Every structure is written in C-alpha cells, then in structure tokens.
Structure 1
Amino acid sequence: MNQNTGKTVLILGANSDVAKQCIKQYAEKGFSVIAASRDTISLERFVSDNQIRPSKVTILYFDAVDFNSHQKFYDDLPVKPHIAVYAAGFLVDNAKALREFKGAQQMMQVNYMGAVSILNIIAMDQSNTNLERIIGLSSLSGVRGRKSNFVYGSTKAAFTQYLAGLRQELASRKILVNVLVIGYIRTKINEGLQLNESLIMEPDYVAKHIVNAGNSFTIVPNFKWKMIYIILKILPESLVAKLP
C-alpha cells in the first residue's frame, strides 16, 4: 500500500537484483529513492519496465571503487537521505582469487573499502539530521572462514564488523545500523554456481527484509538460513575445517 512518508532512501550499488527490488518496494511505501550505480541505463530501464513513477526515483552515477569521488557524490545529492543502503557487491571464484590478486583486490574494494569510504562520509555528516538508518548487505560467507570461499568471505566479515562498530558509534545520535546476513539468492552474481535449490531465496523476498528492517543489528532472512547461521557461529573449528 502506498504511503506518503516524505522520506528519502539512498541505495548504493542499486543495479543488483536485490537493490532493484528495494527500489520498487521503497517507492511503493512512499519513499523518494536515490538509486546510485555505475549502470544508470539499466536502472532507467528497470524503473520504466516496472512502471515506477519517475518522480519517485532519482538515478545517479556512483562508482564504489572511485574513492576520491565519494565526497563530491555525497555533497551533490539533491536531498540528504533518511536511510542509506549499501548493496554493492563483487564476487570471483576463490581459486581465481588465490591465483590472481586482481580479483581479490576488486572484492576488497567493492565489498569493504568502498562501503567504508562512502558510509563514513554519510555517517559523519552531523548536519544531516534526517539520517535515521544505515543498512549493509553482508553474507553468510563472512560468518566463518571456509576453504571454498574464504577470500570473498573475509571481505564480508570485515564489512559486518565495520557495521557493528558503526552501530555503536551512531547509537548516541539515535541512528540505527543493520546488517543483512544473506545466504543464496537467485541473482546474476550466483549464475552458473551449483547451489542447493531449496535454499535459494528470491530477490524480492530479501528486499522485503531490508525495507522492513527493525531494531535488531543482525537480520538473517529465511528460517533455514537462520539455523545455518546459528550452527556456523557455534560449530567447532575442527568441524568447520571439514566443510566445503
């Protein structure tokens, strides 16, 4: 149901499948959406195809790894956000990341360094009295180091820990910070991977948990993934070593 909130949400890395669903769902709730990505054409097409009112969505160019551009990007925003969502992500195969540092570096820059760069700017702007929430998209891969994906997982673990500290930093200003710890999603980043079909979530389902984020720091969509998250947290290292 459409509600006129009068609030603005900034979605960084807005071209991901989950982020696009967030655009749609936030707009349906009455938010004004600033959708930022390197691929602005794809975002324009999505808004048009889904018949989202153009007046509700502002599309801007944003490059997560162009750190020097982040301050100007933020300063030039038409409206400072009430909510900021960092949804940018990059993944390469673990074996490739071990052989070629370029892939590992790209994951570090997109998944962690870019997030810290832009979110620090957003969080430290005390003149923006609108800001009430920051949401970051992390992964179950960052819960424990596993030999199949520990390079990617390490970037998500770092991002989760950053958000945990940022939550404490911003608590005195009554600004909430949430982390979405996400399992398998049917998205382009996972295309071609052999995944358990019964565990795959749809992008709109995950987006619903982002748009309706509550007060808890850690949000794990889907009951099965909640169980996996808890098991991973408590599993002895000797058993974690036997996981793929």
Structure 2
Amino acid sequence: MNQNTGKTVLILGANSDVAKQCIKQYIEKGFSVIAASRNTQSLNDFINSNNLDRSKITVLYFDAADFDSHQKFYEGLSVKPHIAVYSAGFLVDNQQALRDFKGTKQMMEVNYMGGVSILNIIAMDESNKNLERIIGLSSLSGVRGRKSNFVYGSTKAAFTQYLAGLRQELASRKIIVNALVIGYIRTKINAGLELNESLIMEPDYVAKFIVNAGNSFTIVPNFKWKIIYHILRLLPESLAAKLP
C-alpha cells in the first residue's frame, strides 16, 4: 500500500525513458510529481497508458534551452519541490558535432546550461523550506575524454563538476546533491547505436537508483559500470588515448 509522503518531486526533462520510470516509482512511493517537458503530449500518453493516478501528477511545459523562461516557470509552480531531478538530455554523433556546431550547441544548452540555469534558480530560493535534494543525471562519458564521444562527454563532465560544487554550496542548508553517473541505457537517445548488449541497463533499473538516492554524491548504477567508472578515472593517459 502506498504511503502518502506529502512531498513533491519536480522532474525536469520528464519525457526521457528513465524519467518516465521515475514518475511511476515516485508515485508508488507516495510522492506527488510535477513532470515538466517540451513534449507534454507524450507524457500524458504515458500517464494514461500506465493508468497512473492523475491526482498525483501535474504535467507542465518546460524547455531546458529556453533560459529566459526558467524563472517564470519556477515562480509559477503551485508547490515548490522537496526533490528536483534534472534529466533533460540531448545527443548527436561526435563526428557530426565536430563538423556542425549547431548540434554541439544544443548539447551544451540541454545537457549543461539548462541544468545550471534552472537548478540555480531552485537552489537559491531560500524561501523554499521544502527543498531537501537535487539530483542530476550525468554520464560515464564525462569521466574521461574519448575519441568517440568527447564533445557530448564534455557537456556531462561540466554538469558533474557543477553538481559537485552545488553540493558544497548547499551543504550548510542540509540539502543533498547527487550525480547519477550512468552508462548505456536502453533508451531512445541510444537507439541505433552499436552498444555492448551485456552492459545495457533498462530504464526502470536506473530509475530505482534515482528514486532511492542516498547521501553519496556519485551514484553509479550497476556493478559492471562501477568497475568501468573506477578504471576510467585511474587509467593513465597513454592507455586512455587508445580507447575508442
């Protein structure tokens, strides 16, 4: 039986496959959810198809790259969140990003700049006594620069460092900041990529680590990815340069 926590979670970029599973799991834990995305129709379809409790979910329009709208978006929330999750993401192929700055810019805006913009607003609202946690979704791609995806990886590396500093900034207010450092997930953003099947995680599996986040800053779902994470961090540059 679900227990009503009386708490609200704001999920930004809620149309991602992982974020949708977070909606389900937060509802199951008794939270109310504000699901914010550019694609509100997809969110509503997901809610309907999964017979989720409409009384516990508010769907709002949010554009991560429309920085000028973020303050108004936040001020318009009927309830200020206890937990904020930033899961917006965008990916283009590295070779495309190297040759066309449009894709690079969009990755910067969605993966990093949008997160900094809206999370700064949320974090600096000291009138919101509800706020207890901020969670950002980052990536193993941001741990070390690799030839195959360093442009995308650089946006995730920047976001992780931002979250690390934000954690220190908010520590005196006892607000926890977590960075989910995630490997391959079976999602639409990775559709068509040639990935190692044994390393692919399902969205609902990753969502459990978000919904049940503890006090640690870096959270790496799956023991295989934890091993890879530590190897990447410690690998000498001469060996890292040989990675694809």
For 1:80, the aligned partner's letter is K
Which digits, 9 at most, give the CA deviation of each residue in 1:178-221, with x for residues without a partner? 00000000000000000000000000000000000000000000
CA distance in 1 between partners of 2:29 and 2:154 (Å) = 35
| Partner of residue 11, structure 2 | 11
CA distance in 2 between partners of 1:2 and 1:191 (Å) = 34
Note if 1:48 corresponds to 2:48.
yes
Any gaps of 5 or more consecutive residues in structure 1?
Answer: none
SS of the counterpart of 2:81? coil
Q: Compute the displacement of 1:3 (Å).
A: 1.6
| Partner of residue 168, structure 1 | 168
For 1:60, the aligned partner's letter is L
Matching of residues 213-232 of structure 1 within 5 Å = 213-232=213-232
Note if 1:88 corresponds to 2:88.
yes
Percent identity between the aligned chains?
84
Any gaps of 5 or more consecutive residues in structure 2?
Answer: none
CA distance in 2 between partners of 1:138 and 1:223 (Å) = 17
Note if 1:179 corresponds to 2:191.
no
How many residues get paired? 244
CA distance in 2 between partners of 1:102 and 1:193 (Å) = 21
| Partner of residue 33, structure 1 | 33
Which digits, 9 at most, give the CA deviation of each residue in 1:161-186, with x for residues without a partner? 00000000000000000000000000
CA distance in 2 between partners of 1:163 and 1:222 (Å) = 21
Which digits, 9 at most, give the CA deviation of each residue in 1:38-89, with x for residues without a partner? 0000000101111110001000000000000000000000100000000000
CA distance in 1 between partners of 2:86 and 2:219 (Å) = 15
CA distance in 1 between partners of 2:212 and 2:37 (Å) = 23
SS of the counterpart of 1:184? coil
Matching of residues 68-147 of structure 1 within 5 Å = 68-147=68-147
SS of the counterpart of 2:146? coil
CA distance in 2 between partners of 1:228 and 1:3 (Å) = 37
SS of the counterpart of 1:89? coil
CA distance in 2 between partners of 1:146 and 1:87 (Å) = 23
Q: TM-score, normalised by structure 1?
A: 1.00
Q: CA RMSD in A?
A: 0.4
CA distance in 2 between partners of 1:72 and 1:4 (Å) = 29
Matching of residues 202-213 of structure 1 within 5 Å = 202-213=202-213
Name segments (4+ residues, structure 1) moved above 6 Å.
none
CA distance in 2 between partners of 1:41 and 1:172 (Å) = 39
Q: Compute the displacement of 1:106 (Å).
A: 0.2
Q: TM-score, normalised by structure 2?
A: 1.00
